[in-house]
Amino acid sequence: MDVTITKDLTDDHILIVRADGSRAETRFPKKGPVPHDAVHFIVEEALGLKRGFWGMIASGINPDEVQEIAKAAGHASAKRAEVPDGSIVMLVQAERIVESVEAALWSGGTDVEGTLHLAESGCGASLVPVPAMDATAVEQILRRVRDLRDDWAPAPLGHQFHFHWSPQ
């Protein structure tokens, strides 16, 4: 699956072309210095979360339906958590780790231990196990997200981030 995220003023446009040729498009509001869904890609790829956000999209689910699927499977948010259905565990894990990585990026910090602690706390509050990850994996994720920020932040509107998602 090929994905292109295009920088815009208030939100970013996302074009998805799946392996079967089907397409999906969506927009995601800006909520930090890099596109949230690009951070999902980096985290899910690095940790092998095959059924995180991008794995669900690759399987044919429309991006705008993911939140409702998570809600129906017992997990609307960390604040209203119940033990989620097994079908969304990787999705929840990915979201909590993405949040911890974004917190490190937004605060200007790059502390691996703090990021690991936030990920553990977030997964615990969401009643899902922490996926296999160590300090080396977290450092790699933080480095890739910082590199994305350094490319994305100064770029003009219309700038694009391309990536290819494939089952690992």
- Confidence at residue 73, expressed as pLDDT on a 0 to 100 scale: 74
What confidence score (pLDDT) does residue 117 get? 92
pLDDT, residue 86, reads 85
What does the DSSP assignment read for 127-165? T-PPPS--HHHHHHHHHHHHHHHHHHTTSPTT-EEEEE-
Burial code (b: 16+ CB inside 10 Å, e: under 16) for 25-34 equals ebebeeeeeb
List the pLDDT tens digit at each of the 168 positions of the chain.
999 999 999 999 999 999 999 999 999 998 889 999 999 999 999 999 999 999 999 999 999 898 888 777 766 554 556 788 888 999 999 999 999 999 998 887 668 999 999 999 999 988 899 999 999 999 999 999 999 999 999 999 999 999 999 866
The DSSP string of 11-22 is: EEEEEEE-TTS-
> What per-residue confidence (pLDDT) applies to 84?
81
Do the beta carbons of residue 163 and residue 41 sit within 8 Å? yes
pLDDT at 168: 61
Exposed, middle or buried: residue 78 (CB in 10 Å: 0-12, 13-18, 19+)? middle
The phi and psi torsions of 3 (rounded to 5 degrees) equal -130, 135
Residue 100 half-sphere exposure toward CB, CA atoms < 13 A: 25
